Protein backbone atom coordinates (compact mmCIF):
# COMPACT_ATOMS: atom_id res chain seq x y z
CA UNK A 1 0.00 0.00 0.00
CA UNK A 2 2.85 2.39 0.83
CA UNK A 3 4.35 1.73 -2.59
CA UNK A 4 1.00 2.61 -4.17
CA UNK A 5 0.88 5.93 -2.32
CA UNK A 6 4.46 6.79 -3.31
CA UNK A 7 3.82 5.97 -6.96
CA UNK A 8 0.58 7.96 -6.79
CA UNK A 9 2.38 11.00 -5.45
CA UNK A 10 5.11 10.81 -8.10
CA UNK A 11 2.57 10.32 -10.89
CA UNK A 12 0.51 13.35 -9.87
CA UNK A 13 3.25 15.76 -8.96
CA UNK A 14 6.21 14.73 -11.10
CA UNK A 15 5.27 12.50 -14.02
CA UNK A 16 1.80 13.80 -14.96
CA UNK A 17 1.19 17.24 -13.52
CA UNK A 18 -1.60 17.88 -16.00
CA UNK A 19 -1.83 21.65 -15.46
CA UNK A 20 -5.39 22.59 -16.51
CA UNK A 21 -6.11 18.98 -17.47
CA UNK A 22 -5.43 17.90 -13.88
CA UNK A 23 -8.17 20.19 -12.65
CA UNK A 24 -10.47 19.13 -15.46
CA UNK A 25 -9.98 15.38 -15.46
CA UNK A 26 -8.17 14.15 -12.38
CA UNK A 27 -7.79 10.41 -12.94
CA UNK A 28 -8.66 7.81 -10.33
CA UNK A 29 -5.20 7.74 -8.78
CA UNK A 30 -5.33 11.51 -8.24
CA UNK A 31 -8.76 11.32 -6.64
CA UNK A 32 -7.61 8.60 -4.25
CA UNK A 33 -4.54 10.61 -3.34
CA UNK A 34 -6.52 13.79 -2.67
CA UNK A 35 -9.04 11.98 -0.51
CA UNK A 36 -6.30 10.34 1.55
CA UNK A 37 -3.80 13.16 1.93
CA UNK A 38 -5.41 16.49 1.22
CA UNK A 39 -8.04 18.40 3.14
CA UNK A 40 -10.65 19.79 0.79
CA UNK A 41 -10.94 23.51 1.39
CA UNK A 42 -14.51 24.57 2.02
CA UNK A 43 -15.94 28.02 1.60
CA UNK A 44 -17.26 29.20 4.93
CA UNK A 45 -19.20 32.21 6.19
CA UNK A 46 -20.15 33.34 9.65
CA UNK A 47 -23.86 34.08 10.02
CA UNK A 48 -23.16 37.79 9.79
CA UNK A 49 -20.95 37.41 6.72
CA UNK A 50 -23.50 35.27 4.90
CA UNK A 51 -26.18 37.84 5.63
CA UNK A 52 -24.00 40.69 4.32
CA UNK A 53 -22.83 38.82 1.22
CA UNK A 54 -26.37 37.71 0.52
CA UNK A 55 -27.74 41.23 0.81
CA UNK A 56 -25.09 42.57 -1.55
CA UNK A 57 -25.82 39.88 -4.14
CA UNK A 58 -29.60 40.20 -3.94
CA UNK A 59 -29.53 43.97 -4.29
CA UNK A 60 -27.21 43.72 -7.30
CA UNK A 61 -29.28 40.99 -8.94
CA UNK A 62 -32.53 42.92 -8.50
CA UNK A 63 -30.95 46.12 -9.81
CA UNK A 64 -29.75 44.35 -12.93
CA UNK A 65 -33.01 42.40 -13.37
CA UNK A 66 -34.97 45.65 -13.58
CA UNK A 67 -38.30 44.34 -12.28
CA UNK A 68 -39.78 42.66 -9.19
CA UNK A 69 -41.20 39.44 -10.68
CA UNK A 70 -38.85 37.33 -8.57
CA UNK A 71 -38.21 37.42 -4.85
CA UNK A 72 -35.49 35.87 -2.74
CA UNK A 73 -36.60 33.39 -0.14
CA UNK A 74 -35.13 31.83 2.99
CA UNK A 75 -37.59 28.94 2.91
CA UNK A 76 -36.43 25.50 4.01
CA UNK A 77 -35.99 24.49 0.38
CA UNK A 78 -33.29 27.15 -0.05
CA UNK A 79 -30.86 25.23 2.18
CA UNK A 80 -29.78 28.60 3.48
CA UNK A 81 -28.50 29.83 0.12
CA UNK A 82 -28.93 33.58 -0.53
CA UNK A 83 -29.14 32.81 -4.28
CA UNK A 84 -32.47 31.00 -3.87
CA UNK A 85 -35.32 32.88 -5.52
CA UNK A 86 -38.92 32.11 -6.31
CA UNK A 87 -41.29 33.51 -8.96
CA UNK A 88 -44.09 35.81 -7.88
CA UNK A 89 -47.69 35.15 -8.90
CA UNK A 90 -47.50 38.09 -11.28
CA UNK A 91 -44.92 36.19 -13.32
CA UNK A 92 -46.60 32.80 -12.97
CA UNK A 93 -49.93 34.22 -14.19
CA UNK A 94 -48.47 36.40 -16.93
CA UNK A 95 -49.95 35.88 -20.38
CA UNK A 96 -46.50 35.71 -21.96
CA UNK A 97 -45.37 32.86 -19.72
CA UNK A 98 -48.66 31.00 -20.22
CA UNK A 99 -48.44 31.39 -23.97
CA UNK A 100 -44.89 30.06 -24.11
CA UNK A 101 -45.85 27.13 -21.90
CA UNK A 102 -48.82 26.26 -24.12
CA UNK A 103 -46.54 26.18 -27.19
CA UNK A 104 -44.34 23.49 -25.66
CA UNK A 105 -41.39 24.57 -27.81
CA UNK A 106 -38.48 22.30 -28.65
CA UNK A 107 -34.87 23.31 -28.06
CA UNK A 108 -31.71 22.45 -29.98
CA UNK A 109 -28.69 23.74 -28.08
CA UNK A 110 -25.42 23.49 -30.00
CA UNK A 111 -22.20 23.87 -28.01
CA UNK A 112 -19.34 24.49 -30.44
CA UNK A 113 -15.93 23.32 -29.24
CA UNK A 114 -13.43 26.22 -28.78
CA UNK A 115 -15.47 28.57 -30.99
CA UNK A 116 -13.52 31.79 -30.38
CA UNK A 117 -15.46 35.00 -30.67
CA UNK A 118 -12.30 36.41 -32.26
CA UNK A 119 -12.74 34.12 -35.26
CA UNK A 120 -16.50 34.30 -35.77
CA UNK A 121 -17.41 36.38 -38.80
CA UNK A 122 -20.63 37.96 -37.52
CA UNK A 123 -18.73 39.27 -34.48
CA UNK A 124 -15.84 40.57 -36.59
CA UNK A 125 -17.13 42.28 -39.76
CA UNK A 126 -13.59 42.90 -41.02
CA UNK A 127 -12.65 39.23 -40.88
CA UNK A 128 -12.34 38.11 -44.51
CA UNK A 129 -12.97 35.40 -45.42
CA UNK A 130 -15.08 34.34 -42.47
CA UNK A 131 -14.47 30.81 -41.14
CA UNK A 132 -18.13 30.68 -40.03
CA UNK A 133 -20.36 31.52 -43.02
CA UNK A 134 -23.32 29.49 -41.75
CA UNK A 135 -23.30 30.96 -38.26
CA UNK A 136 -22.99 34.39 -39.87
CA UNK A 137 -26.03 33.73 -42.04
CA UNK A 138 -28.26 32.40 -39.28
CA UNK A 139 -27.12 35.22 -36.98
CA UNK A 140 -28.56 37.73 -39.45
CA UNK A 141 -32.00 36.25 -38.70
CA UNK A 142 -31.49 35.70 -34.97
CA UNK A 143 -30.91 37.54 -31.73
CA UNK A 144 -27.12 37.76 -31.44
CA UNK A 145 -25.35 38.77 -28.24
CA UNK A 146 -22.09 40.53 -29.02
CA UNK A 147 -20.69 40.48 -25.47
CA UNK A 148 -21.16 36.93 -24.26
CA UNK A 149 -18.43 35.44 -22.06
CA UNK A 150 -17.82 32.02 -20.59
CA UNK A 151 -18.33 31.55 -16.85
CA UNK A 152 -15.88 28.66 -16.63
CA UNK A 153 -12.92 27.07 -18.45
CA UNK A 154 -12.22 24.70 -20.14
CA UNK A 155 -15.05 22.47 -21.50
CA UNK A 156 -16.23 21.15 -18.13
CA UNK A 157 -16.44 24.66 -16.72
CA UNK A 158 -18.23 26.06 -19.75
CA UNK A 159 -20.72 23.20 -20.07
CA UNK A 160 -21.55 23.00 -16.36
CA UNK A 161 -22.01 26.75 -15.88
CA UNK A 162 -24.25 26.82 -18.96
CA UNK A 163 -26.46 24.20 -17.33
CA UNK A 164 -26.28 25.38 -13.72
CA UNK A 165 -26.56 29.13 -14.19
CA UNK A 166 -23.77 29.68 -11.64
CA UNK A 167 -20.17 30.72 -12.15
CA UNK A 168 -17.69 27.84 -12.02
CA UNK A 169 -15.97 26.99 -8.74
CA UNK A 170 -12.78 28.99 -8.32
CA UNK A 171 -10.66 26.23 -6.74
CA UNK A 172 -12.43 22.88 -7.02
CA UNK A 173 -13.18 20.90 -10.15
CA UNK A 174 -16.97 20.86 -10.14
CA UNK A 175 -17.07 17.93 -12.57
CA UNK A 176 -15.33 15.61 -10.11
CA UNK A 177 -15.48 17.26 -6.68
CA UNK A 178 -19.15 18.25 -6.55
CA UNK A 179 -20.98 15.34 -8.17
CA UNK A 180 -22.61 14.44 -4.86
CA UNK A 181 -24.37 17.79 -4.59
CA UNK A 182 -28.00 18.39 -5.52
CA UNK A 183 -27.59 21.03 -8.21
CA UNK A 184 -30.57 21.22 -10.61
CA UNK A 185 -29.98 22.51 -14.14
CA UNK A 186 -32.20 23.88 -16.87
CA UNK A 187 -32.04 20.41 -18.47
CA UNK A 188 -33.23 18.61 -15.34
CA UNK A 189 -36.01 21.18 -14.95
CA UNK A 190 -37.16 20.53 -18.53
CA UNK A 191 -36.98 16.77 -17.88
CA UNK A 192 -39.10 17.17 -14.74
CA UNK A 193 -41.55 19.30 -16.75
CA UNK A 194 -42.33 16.56 -19.27
CA UNK A 195 -39.63 17.13 -21.90
CA UNK A 196 -37.60 14.31 -23.38
CA UNK A 197 -34.00 15.46 -23.09
CA UNK A 198 -30.95 14.10 -24.89
CA UNK A 199 -27.29 15.02 -24.53
CA UNK A 200 -25.24 14.20 -27.64
CA UNK A 201 -21.47 14.50 -27.62
CA UNK A 202 -18.86 13.82 -30.28
CA UNK A 203 -16.26 13.44 -27.50
CA UNK A 204 -16.59 10.89 -24.72
CA UNK A 205 -18.40 12.64 -21.82
CA UNK A 206 -16.84 10.15 -19.41
CA UNK A 207 -13.38 11.53 -20.29
CA UNK A 208 -13.88 14.62 -18.16
CA UNK A 209 -16.66 13.26 -15.91
CA UNK A 210 -19.43 15.23 -17.61
CA UNK A 211 -21.28 11.98 -18.22
CA UNK A 212 -22.09 11.66 -14.52
CA UNK A 213 -23.80 15.04 -14.55
CA UNK A 214 -25.66 14.47 -17.79
CA UNK A 215 -27.00 11.16 -16.52
CA UNK A 216 -28.59 13.07 -13.64
CA UNK A 217 -30.14 15.74 -15.83
CA UNK A 218 -31.02 14.15 -19.18
CA UNK A 219 -33.32 11.35 -20.32
CA UNK A 220 -30.44 9.81 -22.28
CA UNK A 221 -26.89 10.39 -23.52
CA UNK A 222 -25.50 9.68 -26.98
CA UNK A 223 -21.84 8.92 -27.58
CA UNK A 224 -20.11 6.41 -29.81
CA UNK A 225 -16.39 6.17 -30.48
CA UNK A 226 -17.13 5.64 -34.17
CA UNK A 227 -18.82 9.06 -34.32
CA UNK A 228 -16.07 11.28 -32.90
CA UNK A 229 -15.67 13.25 -36.12
CA UNK A 230 -18.25 16.01 -36.36
CA UNK A 231 -19.47 14.74 -39.73
CA UNK A 232 -20.50 11.30 -38.43
CA UNK A 233 -21.66 12.86 -35.16
CA UNK A 234 -23.96 15.24 -37.03
CA UNK A 235 -25.18 12.37 -39.23
CA UNK A 236 -26.42 10.66 -36.07
CA UNK A 237 -27.88 13.88 -34.67
CA UNK A 238 -29.81 14.53 -37.89
CA UNK A 239 -31.22 11.02 -37.94
CA UNK A 240 -32.22 10.95 -34.28
CA UNK A 241 -33.65 14.45 -34.06
CA UNK A 242 -35.53 14.24 -37.37
CA UNK A 243 -36.79 10.67 -37.19
CA UNK A 244 -37.21 10.07 -33.46
CA UNK A 245 -37.51 13.29 -31.46
CA UNK A 246 -39.40 15.11 -34.19
CA UNK A 247 -41.96 12.33 -34.59
CA UNK A 248 -43.05 12.06 -30.98
CA UNK A 249 -45.63 14.10 -29.12
CA UNK A 250 -43.39 15.22 -26.27
CA UNK A 251 -41.42 18.46 -26.61
CA UNK A 252 -37.68 17.84 -26.64
CA UNK A 253 -34.31 19.28 -25.75
CA UNK A 254 -31.35 18.10 -27.83
CA UNK A 255 -27.99 19.38 -26.62
CA UNK A 256 -25.08 18.80 -29.03
CA UNK A 257 -21.39 19.10 -28.11
CA UNK A 258 -19.06 19.17 -31.13
CA UNK A 259 -15.40 18.10 -31.18
CA UNK A 260 -13.53 18.79 -34.44
CA UNK A 261 -12.44 22.31 -33.49
CA UNK A 262 -10.40 21.05 -30.53
CA UNK A 263 -6.74 21.89 -29.91
CA UNK A 264 -4.38 21.26 -31.73
CA UNK A 265 -6.90 22.09 -34.48
CA UNK A 266 -6.08 19.25 -36.84
CA UNK A 267 -9.08 16.97 -36.21
CA UNK A 268 -11.22 18.10 -39.14
CA UNK A 269 -11.71 15.31 -41.67
CA UNK A 270 -10.13 16.06 -45.01
CA UNK A 271 -7.43 18.42 -43.76
CA UNK A 272 -4.32 18.11 -45.91
CA UNK A 273 -0.89 17.59 -44.42
CA UNK A 274 0.00 21.07 -45.61
CA UNK A 275 -2.92 22.54 -43.69
CA UNK A 276 -2.03 20.54 -40.57
CA UNK A 277 1.47 22.04 -40.61
CA UNK A 278 0.27 25.65 -40.64
CA UNK A 279 0.46 27.79 -37.47
CA UNK A 280 -2.32 27.33 -34.91
CA UNK A 281 -3.64 30.78 -35.76
CA UNK A 282 -4.35 29.55 -39.29
CA UNK A 283 -5.29 25.94 -38.51
CA UNK A 284 -8.16 27.00 -36.29
CA UNK A 285 -9.83 28.66 -39.27
CA UNK A 286 -9.92 25.31 -41.09
CA UNK A 287 -11.40 23.44 -38.14
CA UNK A 288 -13.91 26.17 -37.33
CA UNK A 289 -15.02 26.21 -40.97
CA UNK A 290 -15.39 22.42 -40.89
CA UNK A 291 -17.54 22.49 -37.75
CA UNK A 292 -19.56 25.32 -39.25
CA UNK A 293 -20.35 23.19 -42.31
CA UNK A 294 -21.54 20.32 -40.15
CA UNK A 295 -23.92 22.53 -38.18
CA UNK A 296 -25.17 23.91 -41.49
CA UNK A 297 -25.95 20.36 -42.62
CA UNK A 298 -27.92 19.71 -39.44
CA UNK A 299 -30.12 22.78 -39.73
CA UNK A 300 -30.75 22.39 -43.46
CA UNK A 301 -31.74 18.76 -42.91
CA UNK A 302 -34.51 19.64 -40.44
CA UNK A 303 -35.58 23.22 -41.20
CA UNK A 304 -38.49 22.18 -43.44
CA UNK A 305 -40.11 19.91 -40.86
CA UNK A 306 -43.34 21.17 -39.33
CA UNK A 307 -42.05 20.80 -35.77
CA UNK A 308 -39.02 22.96 -36.59
CA UNK A 309 -41.30 26.00 -36.66
CA UNK A 310 -41.84 25.42 -32.94
CA UNK A 311 -38.14 24.93 -32.19
CA UNK A 312 -35.55 27.31 -30.78
CA UNK A 313 -32.04 26.83 -32.10
CA UNK A 314 -29.35 28.13 -29.78
CA UNK A 315 -25.75 28.24 -30.99
CA UNK A 316 -22.87 29.04 -28.66
CA UNK A 317 -19.47 27.76 -27.54
CA UNK A 318 -18.09 26.05 -24.48
CA UNK A 319 -15.16 28.50 -24.53
CA UNK A 320 -12.68 30.20 -26.83
CA UNK A 321 -8.96 29.50 -27.07
CA UNK A 322 -5.89 31.71 -26.47
CA UNK A 323 -3.52 31.96 -29.42
CA UNK A 324 -1.07 34.56 -28.18
CA UNK A 325 -3.29 37.62 -27.85
CA UNK A 326 -2.51 39.67 -24.72
CA UNK A 327 0.54 37.45 -24.22
CA UNK A 328 -1.67 34.46 -23.41
CA UNK A 329 -1.28 31.07 -25.10
CA UNK A 330 -2.58 28.68 -22.42
CA UNK A 331 -6.01 27.94 -20.96
CA UNK A 332 -4.71 28.41 -17.41
CA UNK A 333 -3.60 31.51 -15.58
CA UNK A 334 -5.38 34.03 -17.80
CA UNK A 335 -8.92 34.93 -18.81
CA UNK A 336 -8.64 37.34 -21.72
CA UNK A 337 -11.30 37.50 -24.39
CA UNK A 338 -9.37 35.10 -26.62
CA UNK A 339 -10.47 32.36 -24.18
CA UNK A 340 -13.73 33.76 -22.77
CA UNK A 341 -15.48 35.71 -25.57
CA UNK A 342 -17.87 33.40 -27.42
CA UNK A 343 -20.74 33.60 -29.92
CA UNK A 344 -24.29 33.24 -28.66
CA UNK A 345 -27.49 33.43 -30.67
CA UNK A 346 -31.11 32.34 -30.42
CA UNK A 347 -33.12 31.60 -33.55
CA UNK A 348 -36.78 30.72 -33.58
CA UNK A 349 -40.42 31.75 -33.48
CA UNK A 350 -40.99 35.20 -32.04
CA UNK A 351 -37.27 36.06 -31.83
CA UNK A 352 -36.76 39.31 -33.68
CA UNK A 353 -33.39 39.66 -35.43
CA UNK A 354 -31.17 42.00 -33.42
CA UNK A 355 -27.60 42.53 -32.27
CA UNK A 356 -27.58 42.86 -28.49
CA UNK A 357 -24.72 44.67 -26.74
CA UNK A 358 -25.83 43.86 -23.20
CA UNK A 359 -23.15 42.24 -21.05
CA UNK A 360 -23.93 38.52 -20.74
CA UNK A 361 -22.39 35.21 -19.72
CA UNK A 362 -23.14 31.50 -19.70
CA UNK A 363 -24.94 31.95 -16.36
CA UNK A 364 -27.77 33.64 -18.29
CA UNK A 365 -28.53 30.70 -20.56
CA UNK A 366 -30.39 28.50 -18.06
CA UNK A 367 -32.94 31.16 -16.99
CA UNK A 368 -33.35 32.29 -20.61
CA UNK A 369 -34.16 28.80 -21.89
CA UNK A 370 -36.62 28.06 -19.09
CA UNK A 371 -38.61 31.24 -19.60
CA UNK A 372 -38.69 30.53 -23.34
CA UNK A 373 -40.29 27.22 -22.33
CA UNK A 374 -42.78 29.10 -20.17
CA UNK A 375 -41.32 27.64 -16.99
CA UNK A 376 -40.64 29.69 -13.88
CA UNK A 377 -39.56 27.63 -10.88
CA UNK A 378 -37.53 28.30 -7.73
CA UNK A 379 -33.82 28.26 -8.55
CA UNK A 380 -30.34 29.45 -7.62
CA UNK A 381 -29.35 30.80 -11.04
CA UNK A 382 -27.04 33.80 -10.77
CA UNK A 383 -27.89 34.87 -14.32
CA UNK A 384 -30.90 36.57 -15.89
CA UNK A 385 -33.39 35.89 -18.66
CA UNK A 386 -31.72 37.67 -21.58
CA UNK A 387 -35.05 38.15 -23.38
CA UNK A 388 -36.84 40.01 -20.60
CA UNK A 389 -36.56 43.27 -22.54
CA UNK A 390 -35.33 45.51 -19.73
CA UNK A 391 -32.72 45.79 -17.04
CA UNK A 392 -28.96 45.51 -17.35
CA UNK A 393 -26.49 42.66 -17.66
CA UNK A 394 -23.33 41.39 -16.06
CA UNK A 395 -20.88 38.54 -16.52
CA UNK A 396 -19.02 36.51 -13.94
CA UNK A 397 -16.41 33.81 -14.38
CA UNK A 398 -14.00 31.74 -12.32
CA UNK A 399 -11.16 30.06 -14.16
CA UNK A 400 -7.89 28.35 -13.22
CA UNK A 401 -6.28 30.87 -10.89
CA UNK A 402 -8.13 33.81 -12.43
CA UNK A 403 -11.57 35.39 -12.13
CA UNK A 404 -13.40 38.07 -14.07
CA UNK A 405 -16.46 40.27 -13.92
CA UNK A 406 -18.19 42.43 -16.52
CA UNK A 407 -20.32 45.13 -14.92
CA UNK A 408 -21.28 48.75 -15.50
CA UNK A 409 -19.48 49.05 -18.86
CA UNK A 410 -16.16 47.51 -17.77
CA UNK A 411 -14.60 44.05 -17.58
CA UNK A 412 -12.10 43.34 -14.80
CA UNK A 413 -9.78 40.34 -14.86
CA UNK A 414 -8.05 39.51 -11.57
CA UNK A 415 -5.24 37.06 -10.81
CA UNK A 416 -5.04 36.82 -6.99
CA UNK A 417 -1.82 34.77 -6.84
CA UNK A 418 0.22 37.57 -8.42
CA UNK A 419 -2.14 40.46 -7.63
CA UNK A 420 -2.24 41.25 -11.35
CA UNK A 421 -5.31 42.96 -12.74
CA UNK A 422 -6.51 44.05 -16.15
CA UNK A 423 -9.38 46.40 -16.93
CA UNK A 424 -11.02 46.87 -20.31
CA UNK A 425 -14.03 48.77 -21.55
CA UNK A 426 -16.81 46.23 -22.06
CA UNK A 427 -17.18 47.33 -25.66
CA UNK A 428 -13.51 46.53 -26.30
CA UNK A 429 -14.27 42.85 -26.92
CA UNK A 430 -10.87 42.27 -28.53
CA UNK A 431 -9.30 43.82 -25.42
CA UNK A 432 -6.86 46.01 -27.29
CA UNK A 433 -6.59 48.76 -24.67
CA UNK A 434 -5.93 48.04 -21.00
CA UNK A 435 -7.17 50.93 -18.79
CA UNK A 436 -6.69 49.93 -15.13
CA UNK A 437 -4.28 52.80 -14.39
CA UNK A 438 -6.74 55.35 -15.73
CA UNK A 439 -9.64 53.94 -13.68
CA UNK A 440 -8.29 52.77 -10.33
CA UNK A 441 -11.61 53.59 -8.66
CA UNK A 442 -13.42 51.25 -11.05
CA UNK A 443 -10.86 48.50 -10.39
CA UNK A 444 -11.32 48.80 -6.64
CA UNK A 445 -15.12 48.76 -6.85
CA UNK A 446 -15.30 45.83 -9.28
CA UNK A 447 -12.69 43.80 -7.42
CA UNK A 448 -14.79 43.95 -4.27
CA UNK A 449 -17.87 42.79 -6.17
CA UNK A 450 -15.90 40.10 -8.00
CA UNK A 451 -14.35 38.58 -4.88
CA UNK A 452 -17.69 38.55 -3.06
CA UNK A 453 -19.69 37.05 -5.92
CA UNK A 454 -17.15 34.30 -6.64
CA UNK A 455 -17.01 33.36 -2.96
CA UNK A 456 -20.81 33.20 -2.84
CA UNK A 457 -20.88 31.06 -5.99
CA UNK A 458 -18.29 28.67 -4.51
CA UNK A 459 -20.33 28.39 -1.31
CA UNK A 460 -23.55 27.68 -3.19
CA UNK A 461 -21.96 25.01 -5.39
CA UNK A 462 -20.42 23.27 -2.39
CA UNK A 463 -23.67 23.29 -0.40
CA UNK A 464 -26.26 22.63 -3.10
CA UNK A 465 -30.00 22.48 -2.52
Q: What is the pLDDT of residues 40-86, one digit of tens each?
A: 568 999 999 999 999 999 999 999 999 889 999 999 999 999 999 99
| Statement: residue 27 has pLDDT above 60 | no
Would you place residue 25 in the very low, low, confident or very high pLDDT band (cuts 50, 70, 90)? very low
User: How far, in Å, CA of 386 to CA of 314, rounded?
Assistant: 13
Using one digit for the tens of pLDDT, what is the confidence trace for 203-260? Answer: 999 999 999 999 999 999 999 999 999 999 999 999 999 999 999 999 999 999 999 9
C-beta contacts of 178-182 below 8 A and 24+ residues apart: 178/461, 178/462, 178/464, 179/209, 179/212, 179/213, 181/461, 181/462, 181/463, 181/464, 182/464, 182/465
Where b means 16+ CB within 10 Å and e means fewer, 344-381 reads: bbbbbeebeeeebebbbbbbbbbbbbbbbbbbbeebbb
pLDDT digits (tens, 9 = 90+) for 283-327: 999 999 999 999 999 999 999 999 999 999 999 999 999 999 999
Q: Is residue 133's pLDDT more than 60?
A: yes
More confident residue, 13 or 153: 153
- Is the per-residue pLDDT at 447 higher than 60? yes
CA-to-CA dists, residue 268 to 10, 117, 229, 231, 396, angstroms: 36, 19, 7, 9, 32
Residue 261, SS3 per DSSP = coil
Q: Distance between CA atoms of 458 and 172, rounded to whole angstroms?
A: 9
* 395-444: pLDDT as tens digits: 999 999 999 999 999 999 999 999 999 999 999 999 999 999 999 999 99
- Residue 53: partners with Cβ closer than 8 Å, 6 or more residues away: 45, 82, 452, 455, 456
Percent of the chain residues topping a pLDDT of 90: 89
3-state secondary structure of 60: helix
User: At 36, is the pLDDT very low, low, confident or very high (cuts 50, 70, 90)?
Assistant: very low
Cβ–Cβ < 8 Å for 359, 406: yes
pLDDT at 184 over 60: yes
| 123 within 8 A of 315, measured Cβ to Cβ | no
Q: What angle do CA 275, 281, 286 make, to 5 degrees?
A: 45
Q: Quick one: pLDDT at residue 311?
A: 98
Give residue 332's pLDDT band: very low, low, confident or very high (50, 70, 90): confident
Alpha carbons 234 and 295: distance in angstroms, whole number: 7
Average pLDDT taken over every residue of the chain: 92
Question: Which CB contacts under 8 angstroms, 24+ apart, belong to 27-35?
Answer: 31/176, 32/8, 33/5, 33/8, 33/9
CA dihedral 379, 382, 385, 389 (to 10 degrees): 130
* Torsions phi, psi for 271 (to 5 deg): -65, 135
Residue 19 has pLDDT above 50, yes or no: no
Give the model's confidence band at 7: pLDDT under 50 very low, under 70 low, under 90 confident, else very high.
Answer: low
Q: What is the pLDDT of residues 372-395, one digit of tens each?
A: 999 999 999 999 999 999 889 999
By DSSP bridging, strand 341-342 and strand 148-149 are antiparallel
* Spatial separation of the C-alpha atoms in residues 403 and 337, rounded to whole Å: 12
Please report, rounded to a whole number, the percentage of residues in the chain having pLDDT higher than 70: 91
User: What's phi and psi for 377, nearest 5 deg?
Assistant: -130, 160
Phi-psi region of 437 (alpha: psi -120 to 50; beta: other; left: phi over 0): alpha
**Per-residue confidence (pLDDT) for residue 3, from 0 to 100:** 57
User: How far is the C-alpha of 393 from the C-alpha of 383, rounded, in Å?
Assistant: 9
pLDDT given at position 17? 42
Average pLDDT over residues 177-197: 97
Residues 194, 126: Cα–Cα separation, whole Å: 45
Give the residue ranges of DSSP H helices in 140-185: 155-164, 174-177
If we measure between CA atoms, which residue out of 214, 317, 291 comes closest to residue 222? 214
- State the pLDDT at residue 16: 41
pLDDT greater than 80 at residue 34: no
Strand partners of residue 345: 144, 315
Distance, in Å, from the CA atom of 197 to the CA atom of 190, rounded to the nearest integer, reads 8
Amino acid sequence: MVIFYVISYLFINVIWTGHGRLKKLRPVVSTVYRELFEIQKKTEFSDGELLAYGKMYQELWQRLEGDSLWEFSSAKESNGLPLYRIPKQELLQSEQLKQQRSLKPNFILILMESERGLNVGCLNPNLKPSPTPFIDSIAANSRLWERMHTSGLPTTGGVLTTHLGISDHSTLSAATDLVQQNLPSFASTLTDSGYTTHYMSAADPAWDNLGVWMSKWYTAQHYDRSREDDSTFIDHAISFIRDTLGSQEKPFLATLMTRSNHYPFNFAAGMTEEQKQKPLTERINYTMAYADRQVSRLIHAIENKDWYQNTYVIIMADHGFPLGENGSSTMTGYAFSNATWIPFLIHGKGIEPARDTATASQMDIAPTILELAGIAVPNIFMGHNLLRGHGEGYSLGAYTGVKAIGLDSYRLISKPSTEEKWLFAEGDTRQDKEVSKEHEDVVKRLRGKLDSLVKLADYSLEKGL
